[in-house]
Amino acid sequence: MLYDKFDNRIIITGKLVALDPIHIGSSTKNSLNPIDVDNSVLKDSQGRPVIPGSSIKGLTRFFFESVLRNINESSACNVLEEKECCTEKTDVKNEIKRLRDKGSHEELATYSYEKSCEACKLFGGREFAGKLMFKDCFLIGDVKLEHRDGVGIDRKTGAYKSKAKYDYEIIPKGSEFEFYLLAENLDEKQMKYLDFIIRHLESGNLSVGGKVTRGLGRFKLTVTKREVIDIESLKAELKLKEGRNV
């Protein structure tokens, strides 16, 4: 099921609750002041912590793919590796090039989708966008960020390494964030995949961000709400019948 015709839209909303402190690092240090924290958390334009939708999507896809591969290896390719990507196989790649050169966009889209693995069909691949859109998760209320210290360990002695001390910022346990997931044009199987994904987001067993091996990152989706919009409901809203123009 592609995007040229609207079939259905599912909107999942809720709250992400931090079961552990969370650290999603910023790409740059906030200032040159030596007393500032070494590794700060990512913040929005208002200076408030934010969990990028890409982080939630990435960890969700990683978990989903690992489960699919255990059931059927071909159900989830390695999209990051050209030789292991479902649409980069020689015969598939050649046909995609032929259709692209031909200018047949509908045939190209249909063929690319059919040759894609289950993971790429749902989350997106090299030839088309995914059907699941995870929005950035913005902080609810106020929170006081905390700092933790870290030290480097000498690989030969196993002891503290001189001048290797650093500190990092964390979002405290119990912090809450808005959650918004939009799914479009899912088929019956993909709706079951979505149910599976939501159940595991609600389980509290997934972790986001860095330093997860040090006890950080677990979160849980709560207060989950689901809104389903299908073509029949839209027709009713517009008071349309089959074959009748607006």
Q: Give pLDDT tens digits for 48-84.
A: 999 999 999 999 999 999 999 999 988 999 999 999 9
Q: Residue 245: which pLDDT band, with cuts at 50, 70 and 90?
A: low
Return the pLDDT at 240.
63
Q: Give pLDDT tens digits for 174-222.
A: 999 999 999 999 999 999 999 999 999 999 999 999 999 989 999 999 9
Domains by residue range for the chain, with CATH: 8-68+132-238 (3.30.70)
For the chain, the C-alpha Rg in angstroms (whole number) is: 22
Mean pLDDT of all residues in 230-242: 79
User: What is d(CA 18, CA 1) in angstroms, rounded to the nearest whole number?
Assistant: 35
Return the pLDDT at 226.
96
Return the pLDDT at 209.
94
Q: Residue 32: which pLDDT band, with cuts at 50, 70 and 90?
A: low
Lowest mean pLDDT among 25-29, 103-107, 233-237: 25-29
Q: Residue 229: which pLDDT band, with cuts at 50, 70 and 90?
A: very high
User: What is d(CA 35, CA 173) in angstroms, rounded to the nearest whole number?
Assistant: 24
Is the confidence at residue 34, as pLDDT, over 60? no
Are 4 and 134 in contact by the 8 Å Cβ rule? The answer is: no
Kindly tell me the sign of the dihedral angle through the C-alpha atoms of 42, 45, 48, 51.
negative
Is the confidence at residue 246, as pLDDT, over 60? no
Q: What is the pTM of this model?
A: 0.85
Return the pLDDT at 141.
93
Q: Give pLDDT tens digits for 100-137.
A: 999 888 899 999 999 999 999 999 999 889 999 999 99
User: What is d(CA 129, CA 121) in angstroms, rounded to the nearest whole number?
Assistant: 8
User: What is d(CA 80, CA 21) in angstroms, rounded to the nearest whole number?
Assistant: 30
Return the pLDDT at 236.
85
Mean pLDDT of all residues in 29-40: 60
Return the pLDDT at 148.
77
* Average pLDDT across the chain, whole number: 88
User: What is d(CA 75, CA 209) in angstroms, rounded to the nearest whole number?
Assistant: 26
Angle at 225 between CA 68 and CA 58, to 5 degrees: 35
Residue whose C-alpha is closest to residue 171's, from 42, 54, 59, 28? 42
Query: Tell me, what amino acid is at 16?
Result: L
